[in-house]
Amino acid sequence: MAADASSPAPAGATDGGRRDGLWLAVLWVILSAVCCVLVYFVWGPHLPPGDQSNSAASQQFDIKVLGTIATPVIVGVLLYFGWALTFWRQKPGDETDAAPIHGNARIQVTWITVTSAIVLGLAVFGTYELIAPAGAGGGEGPQPIWKPAGTVTASDTSWSPGTKNILQVQVIGQQWAWTYRYPQFGGFETTQLELPVNEPVQFNVTSLDVIHSFWAYQLGVKADANPDVNNVAYTTPQHTGQFVVRCDELCGIWHGAMYNYGEVVSDSAFMTWAQQTRTQLAAVTKLLPPYALTYDPTDISNLGKVNQQLGLTGAGGGYYNPADPEQP
Ligand SMILES: [Cu+2]
């Protein structure tokens, strides 16, 4: 190839009668077909974040599609590289340069057309995928445009399995722990995140202090947790089992330790847990501020009052309270 000055581009190269362009095209099509099937069907089910919820499964599908589209490109590059190293290497003693190439309208037009079609097609695909699963598992702010089909967010204070009324769970980030309030079960607050399987969930994500990010990895949910902001994210768990919750926003010295585990359980196990926890925590729930969608981090005057009611020592219940004139 290197000495073949009559050839305008490697695609049409011949070497001793071997038709490199044809060989490369045929091999590329066959290898791409095989590798695309392997990527989508064999590797695909192992790609993150798995399929524990509908949003996770939808994200996994997106990554499978993108991986499959990228496969022919990678196969083409590696095949061309291997072919060039094997057949087009310089012969011993050959000091000549290859012929310079100036433009190739057919290759340029093909390149621009194919890459434009891929990019624009993926923009349409990405936009649809963002909308169809009700925000794709990301936080949508206080007034979501997209909601899970067939659900209603009622203002009533109870929830039971199988109803259209969506289960609400408030996620509260704080240095350095996650707590969860269940407003439809009396508003108790716990460090345990339990969810019923196959029931749509509405997370209301907020923070008590600094900026955190609620990342329920296996559920494919990630939403910023900001003080004074209610950030809504939806998902529907579709398999029982544990999942990990991490903070995904550097929030101070113990940020790395800010994680715990949630669990997806059956409807009946969830109802039993929720009712038991409601009863167990009833005395503490009475002392909590009333359920609200946001918490104002500058208003911590309640801290001292709650601790005094709990019988803890000190004028501020042992906590420094800048609103208390008796504290330094
Ligand atoms: Cu954090």
Name the CATH superfamily for 167-285. Answer: Cupredoxins -  blue copper proteins (2.60.40.420)
Across the chain, mean pLDDT equals: 85
Q: Is the peptide bond before 49 cis (omega within 30 degrees of 0)?
A: yes
Q: Mean pLDDT check: name the lowest of 2-11, 165-174, 183-192.
A: 2-11
Distance 253 CA to ligand 1 centre (A): 10
- At residue 289, does pLDDT exceed 80? yes
Distance 89 CA to ligand 1 centre (A): 55
The neighbourhood of ligand 1, an ion, using CB within 5 A, equals: 212, 247, 251, 258
Best CA proximity match to 237, nearest among 269, 197, 267: 197
- pLDDT cut 90: percent of the chain above it: 59
Distance 139 CA to ligand 1 centre (A): 16
Determine the longest span between alpha carbons in the chain, in angstroms. 96
Distance 277 CA to ligand 1 centre (A): 25
Distance 179 CA to ligand 1 centre (A): 12
Q: Which pLDDT tens digit goes with each residue over 198-223?
A: 999 999 999 998 999 999 999 999 99
Distance 246 CA to ligand 1 centre (A): 8
Distance 181 CA to ligand 1 centre (A): 17
| Residues making up the chain, counted from first to last | 328
- At residue 75, does pLDDT exceed 60? yes
Task: Categorise residue 96: left if φ over 0, alpha if ψ from -120 to 50, beta otherwise.
Answer: beta
**How far is C-alpha 128 from the geometric centre of its chain's CA atoms?**
16
DSSP secondary structure letter of residue 218: G
Q: Which pLDDT tens digit goes with each residue over 94-125?
A: 888 888 888 899 989 999 999 999 999 999 99
pTM of the predicted structure, to 2 decimals: 0.78
Identify the three-state secondary structure at position 242: strand
Q: Mean pLDDT check: name the lowest of 110-114, 135-139, 177-181, 297-301.
A: 297-301
Distance 21 CA to ligand 1 centre (A): 55
- Taking each helix axis from N to C end, the angle separating 54-87 and 105-131, rounded to the nearest 10 degrees, works out to 160
Kindly list the domain boundaries of the chain, sorted by start residue.
15-89+111-132, 167-285
